[in-house]
Structures are given as C-alpha cells and as structure tokens.
A and B are shown apart, each in its own frame.
Chain A
C-alpha cells in the first residue's frame, strides 16, 4: 500500500482522529507554558510532575478509574507541595522536585505490585499510545486545554514580567507568588493531559524541546511561543501518523521528531546567524 493510502486510511479511524486532536491540544499547551518554564530554569518541574503522574496512573488502574480524572487533581496537589516545600522550608526547588518525584515513583511501584500486574498495558502509559483515547478523554482534554491556553493569554504580560525579572516584577507590585502557583498548577494540568498520547516518561520533553528549538531562531518572546507552537504541533501530528504507519510507540516517535527539529534549528542558527 502506498504511503498516501496508508495516511488516508489512518485519518479515517476514529482513534487516529482523537489522537491528532488531543495531541495537538497537548502540543499547544506545552509550547505556551514551555517558554516560561524553560526560561525560568524550571524545565525539571515537568519531569518531576511526570513521575508523579506515573503514580497517579497506577492508582487509577488499581481503582479502575479514569487515569486522567485521577491524575489531574493529584498532580496539581503535587505541584503545590513542591512549591510549598521550597517556599516554607527554604529547600532548593530542585531538591523539592527530587523528593516529590522519587517518592511518587516509589508509590507507583508499590501500587503496581499491590495490583499484581494490570490487565491494561502499563507500557502504554509510560511511553504513550494512540490506541487508548476515549471519547471522555477528548472532552476532558479540550476543557483542560481551554483553561491552560486561556490562562496564559490572560496573564501573559505578568507571566512575561515574572519570567524576565522576578524581583522587578515584585517591585512593580505584581503578585509574583500567585503567578508562581498558577504556573505550577497549569504545568501539572498539562502533564496530566499529556500522559495518554506521549506517556509519563516522555511528556516533559514536549515542554522542553519545542521551546529550546524556538530559542535558536526567535528574537522576541511572543515569536518564541509561536515558533514553539508550530514545531510542537508539527512533531505531534507527524508523530501520530508515523506511529500508526510503522507501529511504533507514539511518545518516542514524537520526541525523536522534536530532537530532529532541534538539530535542524540549531544548524540554521549556527550557519545563518539568526537570532543569536
């Protein structure tokens, strides 16, 4: 069968359509938030929260509940715990992430062993699968994405000010603490959103890769977000198709495409002297 026929066949399946829709929403959310997280050196909070989502997915499977519905509140709580630990106890942010992240992996492994193996393939949650997205997942994802994208647009100027110079933002009278908590909560929601398509192990790469790729060529902050969004959505759409055609784990394919895009843009910057 020719490649075009395969793609036409792919798009005719409901599960591929769902994966494309949910994947695009995740890609947009990650690109919108990624710029703020990466530039504030908070890239790893995504990684830490992804580990938390491993535990929450295991818990959901044990309880036979929706992984998305269980993960959203629990991962959000974890993000608040990380911030509170570093604020109240004077612990460094990366240490707080380390604590919560390793605790969650341990909790996830214990839950998985209690369940003595799941009848659902845990691999599909670790590395993403396009086969398992339900109609309810699509609805929840769309609602979540609307909240995340809306919040970034609404608070854009304040998020930018805090990202560029937090002390100055405080002098301006901005509620930097509120902005920080909001950022962490939005990140948690994005992570939870991403576990289906990209998987818990790889979701944080969607936050880091497109932004770092965009940084190679973009001049301003808004253009960084725009470039990151285009790169991110392109990689997810191509990744979903490639995953279908070659029967490969979706998340891994998407990350590989992102890595290729990064190398390409890095090359463009080095050769063309764009952005600088």
Chain B
C-alpha cells in the first residue's frame, strides 16, 4: 500500500479556540476510513483543513502528488440544501467538478462532457443528465453530488455526513455504492458520519476524534484494544464493532 496523504502534528484553531491538536496519521491508497467523534470534536475542521479551507495553526498536511485541488473529490455536508428553483441541470453541476484541472479560461471540451456522462452512468444516474437538479429526490441529488466529486477521478474522496438527509433504504444503497467504488474501482475514501452503525458496517478503518486523535486503525485493532474498551466502555465499543466476527472486508 502506498501513502497518498500524510498529516503530522496538525493543530487547528478558530481564533484562539483550539479545535484539534497534535493529530498525525497516514492515509494509504485504497483506504476507506470512517471518521467519528462527538459534536465539536473537530471532524469537520479536519476535513476543511484537508481541503485547504482552514490553514493549520501548526503541523503540516502533505499530499503525495502535491496537487491538492486535483487529487481530492469533495461531497459537502449541505450539498442538498439547494434552492429548489436553482436553474441547473444535473450535467451542468457535475461538469463543475472538472474545473480544478482546467487551465484558464477554463472552458469545457467535448471530452469533459463525455467524462460527465460516464461518471453519471457509473453511478447509475445516466437518465438524470438533463433533469433540473431541484426536481430530484434526496437520494438522486446525493448521487449527483457524488458524481460531481468523482468526475475528475480524484485520488481521495472526502464526504462530510453524506447520508444525514437520506432515508434508511436510500442510505444503505448509498453506502453500498461507496463500498463498490472503494473495492472495485480502488477509490480511497474518508467519510465523516454520526451514523456509527453504518461506519462500522461499511468502512475499513476507524478514525475517532475528540479534539485530538483518540484512535486510528482497523476495526480488528479497535475492537481488540483494551485501551479503547477503557475509553469507551464495552457497550459503546461494541456499537462500532457489531460486524466483528462477520468477517467483513
């Protein structure tokens, strides 16, 4: 496995308020990392920092190919709170995901259009291409936002609470799709969620934050760790580990 991202001694602050301190970890090609932690634990701040929206107060973030904008696909938390009147077709929105790699004046080519169609087809949303995005269901909109994040074939896909507005059936479909992207297409994924059950069920590694890095590693390591049993208590620990013994992965 080769590393695609390394974070060392990262400390993040809003003004004087420290939201995350001394975090170090390495993300490897093919990882599928679930990021959990209580409200205010620094999950979203960490994502913002990886995305370049929040500069580190100290420490550093290194992407292996050194081109952050080209190598991350991002699905923001509030992507679906769009104005239903917003006049944009699915394809118009997916195409914006390609702007990062375009030299000025950032005009689109025929190949870009083909790529957008291909990623929509890959996500089972080819028929939506010419639909107005405001008319789609929540699950369909989320697929469109995922297509926008993936159209540039990023090395790393970052998702912030992608399923919080989806009903349970659609949510499971969405997670299944992500797993398929990770396992079949080798997409590296970091996913923040409050949905501890789903994280434990679908992701391969767990990152638990509480203003610092509490745990980062595989579920087998997590569930076998006495330190984590001491930290969480055995009941809470078991919530993450419910698939333990199912031999998932």
Judge whether B92 and A221 touch: CB under 8 Å: yes
Nearest CB on B from A77, distance (A): 27
Which residues on B sit within 8 Å (CB–CB) of A164? 82, 86, 88, 93, 96
Which residues on A sit within 8 Å (CB–CB) of B52? 170-171, 173
Judge whether B96 and A220 touch: CB under 8 Å: no
Judge whether B89 and A220 touch: CB under 8 Å: yes
Judge whether B107 and A219 touch: CB under 8 Å: no
Kindly supply a per-residue 1/0 record for chain B positions 56-81, scoring 1 wherever the CB is within 8 Å of any chain A CB and 0 otherwise: 00000000000011001010100100
Please tell me if A66 contacts chain B, counting CB pairs below 8 Å. no
Given A221-B92, A276-B135, A173 contacting B100 (CB threshold 8 A): yes
Please tell me if A86 contacts chain B, counting CB pairs below 8 Å. no
Which residues on A sit within 8 Å (CB–CB) of B132? 219-220, 275-276
**Count of CB-CB pairs between chains A and B under 8 Å:** 83
Judge whether A165 and B87 touch: CB under 8 Å: no
Nearest CB on B from A213, distance (A): 12
Please report the total number of B residues contacting A with Cβ < 8 Å.
35
Nearest CB on B from A135, distance (A): 34
**CA–CA, A170 and B53, complex, Å:** 8
**CA–CA, A215 and B82, complex, Å:** 14
Judge whether A158 and B99 touch: CB under 8 Å: yes
Residues of A11-41 at the interface with B, using a CB-CB cut-off of 8 Å, are: 35, 39
Please report the total number of A residues contacting B with Cβ < 8 Å.
29
Chain B interface main SS type: loop
Please tell me if B106 contacts chain A, counting CB pairs below 8 Å. yes
Chain A interface main SS type: helix
Residues of A143-176 at the interface with B, using a CB-CB cut-off of 8 Å, are: 154-155, 157-158, 160-161, 164-165, 167-174
Please tell me if B105 contacts chain A, counting CB pairs below 8 Å. yes
Please tell me if B85 contacts chain A, counting CB pairs below 8 Å. yes
Please tell me if A250 contacts chain B, counting CB pairs below 8 Å. no
Judge whether B88 and A161 touch: CB under 8 Å: no
Judge whether B92 and A276 touch: CB under 8 Å: no
**CA–CA, A170 and B86, complex, Å:** 20
**CA–CA, A111 and B84, complex, Å:** 45
Please tell me if B14 contacts chain A, counting CB pairs below 8 Å. no
**CA–CA, A155 and B104, complex, Å:** 9
Q: Sample 10 A-B pairs with CB under 8 A, ordered by A number.
A: A157-B106, A160-B92, A164-B82, A165-B96, A170-B53, A173-B52, A173-B100, A215-B85, A215-B87, A275-B132
Interface of A toward B, CB cutoff 8 Å: 35, 39, 154-155, 157-158, 160-161, 164-165, 167-174, 214-215, 218-224, 275-276
